[in-house]
């Protein structure tokens, strides 16, 4: 038995695999005003479709639907089977608010109520 697969068959298999990955993934990468579907992710990187996504590099944002997940500094790794793989140099999780530069106690009050004008109402 031989393991040789004709080039046309291999390309069709790769195209079908990439198409299936695109349908399953909600993640997308945003760069220069464009959004491109992320095919797969792993701890140190992600992959996109090689044929339709321009060469990415530098700072990109990753979204899960409309939710901003992370901001990443990336570098191209390799192209294989219709996918272009990128590795993270830095991946910072996105937050809804800026980080605090002080400790906030969990039982701290949200705000303080003043007693201005209380005397005029009492007497």
Please report, in tens digits, the pLDDT of each residue of the chain (123 residues total). 567 777 777 777 666 666 665 566 788 999 888 889 898 889 999 999 888 888 888 999 999 888 899 999 999 988 888 889 999 999 988 887 777 788 888 888 887 777 765 565 555
**Nearest 5°: CA angle at 85, between 33 and 49?**
60
Q: Does residue 73 belong to any structural domain of this protein?
A: yes
The whole-angstrom separation of Cα 95 and Cα 40 is: 23
Of 84, 87, 69, the closest CA to residue 30 belongs to 69
Boundaries of domain holding 87 = 7-96
Q: Does residue 122 belong to any structural domain of this protein?
A: no
Q: Does residue 30 belong to any structural domain of this protein?
A: yes
Instruction: Count the alpha carbons within 13 Å of 10 in the hemisphere toward its beta carbon.
Output: 8
Q: Does residue 110 belong to any structural domain of this protein?
A: no
CATH assignment of the domain containing 76: 2.40.10.430
Residues 6+ apart with CB under 8 A from 94: 61, 68, 69, 70, 71
Count Cβ atoms within 10 A of the Cβ of residue 69 and give its class: 0-12 exposed, 13-18 middle, 19 or more buried.
Answer: middle
Q: Does residue 111 belong to any structural domain of this protein?
A: no
Number of domains in the chain: 1
Is this structure's pTM higher than 0.75?
no
Neighbours of 59 (CB within 10 A): 12
């Amino acid at each position: 038995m031989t393991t040789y697969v004709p080039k046309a068959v291999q390309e069709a298999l790769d195209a079908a695999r990439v198409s299936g990955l695109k349908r399953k993934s909600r993640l997308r990468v945003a760069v220069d005003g464009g959004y491109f579907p992320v095919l797969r992710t792993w701890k140190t990187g992600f992959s996109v479709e090689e044929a339709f996504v321009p060469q990415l590099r530098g700072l990109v944002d990753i979204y899960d639907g409309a939710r901003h997940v992370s901001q990443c500094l990336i570098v191209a790794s390799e192209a294989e089977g219709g996918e272009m793989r990128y590795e993270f140099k830095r991946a910072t999780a996105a937050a809804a608010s800026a980080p605090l530069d002080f400790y906030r106690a969990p039982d701290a009050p949200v705000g303080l109520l003043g007693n201005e004008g209380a005397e005029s109402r009492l007497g």
